[in-house]
Amino acid sequence: MSKIARLATALQQNGYRLTQARQAILNALVESGGHVSADELVELVREEAPSTGRMTVYRTLDLLHELGLVKPVYGGTGAAHYILMDEGHHHHLVCSTCDRVFEFEECMAQELGRQVGNRFGFQIEGHLLEFYGLCADCQPET
Amino acid sequence: MSKIARLATALQQNGYRLTQARQAILNALVESGGHVSADELVELVREEAPSTGRMTVYRTLDLLHELGLVKPVYGGTGAAHYILMDEGHHHHLVCSTCDRVFEFEECMAQELGRQVGNRFGFQIEGHLLEFYGLCADCQPET
DNA sequence: CATAGAATTGATACTAAGTATCAGTTAACC
DNA sequence: GGTTAACTGATACTTAGTATCAATTCTATG
C-alpha cells in the first residue's frame, strides 16, 4: 500500500471523508517528501487543484496531526514545517548552520519507549528523534 | 556550577556581553523550567526587570539558539516553546490529547548519534527525543 | 576620569503565520 | 433524486515574529 493510500484510509477509518481537496493535499504532501510549511503546501496543492483554499490545507494538516500522521516542527525559520509520521517515527540530522535536514532510518528508540512508557503509564504512539550539529559542508576546515 | 551560571559563561565565552537584561532573561528562563513561549518569557522577565523590551528577549533566545543552548519546539498551539538544551540533549513525552509534557533523563541516543554522525560526516552537538502518545489521564478507560 | 567606539537595548512599525466565521458547496446515505 | 451533515473557501482578523533606528550602556584606552 502506498503512503498516500495509507494516509487516505487512516482518514476514512476515523470517520473523515476523503474529498477531492483532501486527496490533492495528500498527494502534494507525499510528493513533496513531507518537509514543507503549510503555505508552501498550499502552492503545491494548487498546481493540481487550483481552487483549493488555504484554510482547507491548514485544516487537513490539523486533522493529520490529530491522527498522529504528521508532525509540525519549528525550525526557527518562520513557519512550522510538517513532516510525515506515517510509520510512527521519524529521524533527522539538522545542520545548525545551513538548516538543511537529513533523514536516517535506524532507530533504537522503540525499546526505550517501552520502558519509559511503562514508568509514566504512557501509551506511546510514535516518536521524533533529531540530532543537531554541523553537516559536512558547514564544519570549520581542519 | 548552576544552570544559570553555565548559560552565562557560555554567552561570555562566545564574545557576548552579560548585560542585566540578559541576566534577567536567563534567570527567568531557568526558573520557568524552560518550557515557555517567547512572549510568556517576556512577562516573566518583566517581573524582575520591568523595563525589558520584547525584542531583547527574542534576540537573546536567538542567541542561545545559535549556541545550541536552547531549542524552539512547535507544539501546534500558536507560539513556539523554548526548551533548555544546556546538557546537549532533551527528552520528552508529549500527550497528544492534553498537550502536557513530561521529561525523562535516560538516553541511549549518544551511541546511535556517533554511528549516524560518522556515516553523514556530521558533527553532532546535541539531540532531542520526543515520544508522542496518550498520558495516563487521557487513555480510554479499560 | 573622560571619551571614543562598539555592542546592546527598547519603542515603533511592520510582515507573515495561523485562526475564526459563515454562506455556499459537496459527499454520503437513504 | 432529495436530505442532511460534513466540508470548503473567501474574507476578515489575531498574534507570533522581524526590521529599523535613535538612545543607551558597556569596554577599552589614553
Please answer whether residues A72 and B94 qualify as being in contact, where contact means their C-beta atoms are separated by less than 8 angstroms: no
Please answer whether residues B123 and A133 qualify as being in contact, where contact means their C-beta atoms are separated by less than 8 angstroms: yes
pLDDT given for residue B45 in this prediction? 94
Sheet holding B35-37, edge to edge: B35-37, B80-84, B70-74
A37 touches strand C (CB under 7 A): yes
The length of chain A is 142
The spacing between the Cα labelled CA in A79 and the C1' in C6, in angstroms, equals 33
pLDDT given for residue B77 in this prediction? 66
Cα dihedral across residues A2, A103, A63, B95: positive or negative: positive
pLDDT given for residue B7 in this prediction? 93
φ/ψ (deg, to 5) at A94: -115, 125
- C-alpha cell, B124: 553532532
Alpha helices in B32-131 (DSSP H): 38-48, 54-66, 109-120
What span, in angstroms and rounded, lies between the C-alpha atoms of A42 and B53? 35
The spacing between the Cα labelled CA in A35 and the C1' in D19, in angstroms, equals 27
What span, in angstroms and rounded, lies between the C-alpha atoms of B54 and B77? 20
Per-chain mean pLDDT for chain A: 89
- Element (DSSP H or E) covering residue A12: helix A3-13
Inspect the interface and report whether the beta carbons of B104 and A116 lie closer than 8 Å: yes
pLDDT at A76 over 70: no
A16 touches strand D (CB under 7 A): yes
Is this structure's pTM higher than 0.75?
Answer: yes
- Element (DSSP H or E) covering residue A134: strand A123-134
pLDDT given for residue A77 in this prediction? 66
- Element (DSSP H or E) covering residue A113: helix A109-120
Inspect the interface and report whether the beta carbons of A117 and B93 lie closer than 8 Å: yes
pLDDT at B108 over 90: no
**Residue B76, Cβ neighbours under 10 Å: how many?**
15
What span, in angstroms and rounded, lies between the C-alpha atoms of B70 and B85? 5
φ/ψ (deg, to 5) at B89: -145, 165
Q: Which nucleotides of D are covered by protein (CB under 7 A)?
A: 6-11, 15-20, 25-27
Task: Find the mean pLDDT for residues A74-78.
Answer: 70
DSSP E strand boundaries for chain B = 35-37, 70-74, 80-84, 89-95, 101-103, 123-134
pLDDT tens sequence across A102-136: 889 888 888 899 999 999 999 998 999 999 989 99
Given pLDDT bands bounded at 50, 70 and 90, which one contains residue B142? low
Distance of CA B30 to the CA centre of its chain: 9
Nearest nucleotide to B77 (CA to C1') is C18
pLDDT tens sequence across B27-75: 999 999 878 999 999 999 999 999 999 999 999 999 999 888 998 887 6
Look-up of cell digits 510512527: A88
Lowest mean pLDDT among A54-58, B51-55, B109-113: B109-113
Q: If DSSP codes are grouped into helix, strand and coil, which group holds residue B135?
A: coil
B55 touches strand C (CB under 7 A): yes
- C-alpha cell, A60: 487537513
Inspect the interface and report whether the beta carbons of A104 and B116 lie closer than 8 Å: yes
pLDDT at A32 over 70: yes
